[in-house]
Structure 1
């Protein structure tokens, strides 16, 4: 709707203000205003006059209305004009631009006239007009100004006006819209002639002019940075440097001009320039400059800058270095000594550190240091010589002091006396030592001390823990009233430093307090892997190694162990950083668990790798206990059995290994000896020994035994060595040839059981032995005994071996031959005995 209305207004204005053909068509209405451009917020009055030949109102009276943009505003008709003239008053015009239109109330409403009204502010006077001369190619004079803070909302035109007084030459330079600076070409100014300049601003509501300035273009020139040619020591003048310099090649033609100059200096090892620059006025580039009151034998860096009178300063020149003349070192050195004993050689191992005090001057670029036992300088008592600030040497235990000197090519300094102090144990003076970051390159060390009258001060020592070089040790001597110190220098972030605070007394040093600190921390580089140390029942113990110092990146605050199974929630256990172990209890023996450890420092945290583990129902400890108990039980049982066996060895031996008489070492009389009872113990003590014959051998001796010798067997039971002769004539032995035979092999009679056993169904078996070894004599007497046999079918209740004795009796009516038939061997003995008789 708005765009349609604006288009209509634009078309109407073009129709009203433009005449296509004045003879054919005249404007329908005419609007008169006080001004089409007015100050913003000022009142505006307008009058609309409708012509008589306007087709829209011919022959009728039509009301007139006003619109400002698309907003209807009230108007008032002029009474004397028969309703064809209307006037409107806008008390405050607050638009920077708007269309004011006049309309007649026909159907539809018709726009019969209109005008565009613009509003704004008159320009402000330009401020801060300044100009600067450029002496490089091309030479120009560039001026700039500030148009003011207020926006005029109207097109404002700026012009720069110059006037050269010596030549009475005036120039005006018109600037493009919105540009507030202009470069005057070299033809528009003279370097060494004064000129006036001002700026004028003009718009439809007025104009304004800046305050004029008067200047000499050379006085507004900014020179190029000058060049330092050389920096040299002044001969025979200690602490002086001579600077030779020149202008740049673009300003070299000004070498005869007198300029203002500033010099600034600093030592080569300093990070800041020393004090305020040294100013010199009206100097020529062809004249060198001398700078004195400098340190002797010290390297300096120098820079200069120039200007003409009050012109802007040039930029600083490039740095140039020079060294002053050397002189002997002056002042004393601050020192710090640490001792350790050598009991073998009865000497002390000394670590001595030193640094320049505030009053020390090396006065040389090449300085060395010597430590000696004697105060007068000499080579005899020298124990150390170095160009550094640290030395290690040995001293006798009785030494009380050493002397430290600085030496250069020009001489030696006065000796600094260093007393040999030993640690005093048993007295705690310092406590609660802390070190917190001050910034990324500094640490603030604080401690708490006790009020002790003999305390003279403190020594704060620090060194990097990742480097074993003692020369990197730094120290600071602190007053006794001080309880904190800011450590500065080349402290590296994420690197550990060991900081110790020693109390100083008049006669020694107290025990130190030491802490580790980082100027800046971050998360560790690695996390140690979890290891399963042992498991038992439903518990598991996890351990891990300590993180290497170079990979910690901070002080470890805690370990956190996260563990879970496939069913349960995640559980967390906090672990003290000194422990590095955790015991997980009440775990499920059928679940697989996962776990990892997280390491925390003040700078961040890092998670380790995840491990999997399962609790077995019988762990190693349980298995070991079971095996141990089983082994102990078996051992006790074995010991009991062995003891039992040894206590009944004869009975057990008789049961496991039956006794077989050795023919070479026994006789037939020993087969039934009472000694056999120990090898064949009876199960019942009432029963006789159940020993029975297993075999009986016959041996045919080479010579014929006499009848007297045969009678020994018949009449005595003490000797059985002639048994072979007495039985050699038995008709039961195959191949029997009588007593004249050379040899007869053994004959064996085998019984199938004991006397109490029933008679076997099979006949007795007689085996022939191939051995020809005769039986040896035996001193043991032979006395056959009768055994009581149990009654068996078809046999008498009692039987006797080796004939009848007084203990046996034959049943009435029994045939005695029956007994010999049952024992053919005995029958053979009896037959042989009969024949011999």
Structure 2
């Protein structure tokens, strides 16, 4: 059969070519054994017949293909398993030879139509429209044609079938509509689908209009007018209906709630009241209708409206925590949800009242805490306010007595969550409160939840993965009897820290002090358990030091001189993270003398100086240097107090020995009187030269010092220690200069007088810079002036 079809095709092609040649048309003819549209995956041949003696080639989509020869004027190409649309052509090498070709499309035959259904829409009371839909199946990649066939029955009269053509190449769901009168009792529908590869029909479906008919058009809803708990909606319908269904839901809900589903003879327009709504909610409304029989209409378009506000009816959830400075506390409250608070919160009011504290403040609506001074016996009250008024007050007290602590409070992690459990106390509590927060961030991110007294286990919510948490469980036996049991360092999920701490070093001698800051929360990966310090010297000797996570400083001592490299890493339950940035420091050689050696040298120097001070020559030198340094305090002898008193009492002066047991013996306590004569020149301003023998002074021991205030010129007429008629005057202790006698005078003093005065101490003996005094020459006012030039010359 195929061979016969092929033979006839060739014959026809030759005839066509002969005719074309006769009339002077193209010299090339191209055709396919399967036609222009073929089924996907099929195989066939394409032929090219020509009358030119030039060389001819065959192409597939501009690509040369190896062809076969049928005869001297015809060539062909075998096509196997075609998968898409192809273009085949035949080209001649001669300039006068024409080319020819053919586009071949590949696809599928049409599927049988499925899910055929029809509905009846009544537009007016006398007529309506039937709309039928069906699914045409898979895409055939070819041009398809669907035909809806309808047969109607009115009483004893049958009409049809009436054909309704639908053409589509892409969509799966097709539809067609037609008008019918209300006199039609029965309709029969079926669908025929066809393309170039075949034709199929669906099964016939029979409907009565009572089954599908009398569906009214969808209602139209007007904008609702709402109070706080009720909305009034205007519904419009083009025909008289017997049933109306109105549904509503707020924006948080997924399911619709049905308000009304039956009415009687609703006219074209009517208002409906929807009650039992909540204040300050955004509600969505929709409606549909139907006649006494038949189908419901389509849902109307959704309309939305807010109900009005009411004063909040629910109290806030309030908690407090002491601040880290121990001088203040922070009051917390949870956000007043606008659905619970019956309106938009405008502000919060906080009142703290105690023995020594009274605070009243209004806080912005976007704030959830407020700080006040620490108060141990205060009453804290918080309100929320919207445009309609204040919420009920929430009052807590800071005055608390300690209840028994919970036992076995455990915090465990697993399945990306944290579970807190505890053993119930012996005394039945009234309530539990669980608080939690990221480690070190209590004041900023405190969370809490109140739990029923019968609960002994709960799962934390509002937590982040790879975050370390801590918190506590509170047991309330009454409003003021509370205990707190804490838990620390638990994470829902942990990963290895992704960085090391930032380190700073301080080198002192042969030790180094390391300080670091905690890793940022995003780099910890959970709860840090410890830090590891890597210390490497220039000899590549590596030492490790482990430090607890609670520390932030560490000291390494007794380091030998070298160049050191230091790094630091952090670890948690998941593992050890990478080391941080490397730092370099130096330990240098200690060139200073040891402290003990310095102390020994200093002690030797002090001992050596003390030995030097025992020499009279060195003491004299030190005294002379000291006097040179005090040049500016040497007074003028002529203006001294002693000189002025001598002018008043001419000829006599009382010299009195120093009193006290430290300078005189008991034998010499009685006053010794000495007669003196003072000679003056004719001028009263200047004293005369001494012409008589001066009073001999007793020889002084090395320990005896000159009394620093004896400053007069005296002459002795006689010196009898026992029977002198003259009285010995006491020394004036306010005079600035010391009198002196020459060495010759001192030689004339007899032995008795020397022995008598041997034990008298006129001057203090504690000055180590003055040795035995030597007297020479006569003492004048000019002579007592100190001149240091001689000292430096002799030195």
* TM-score normalised per structure 1: 0.46
Max radius of gyration: which structure? Answer: 1
* TM score, norm. by length of structure 2: 0.48
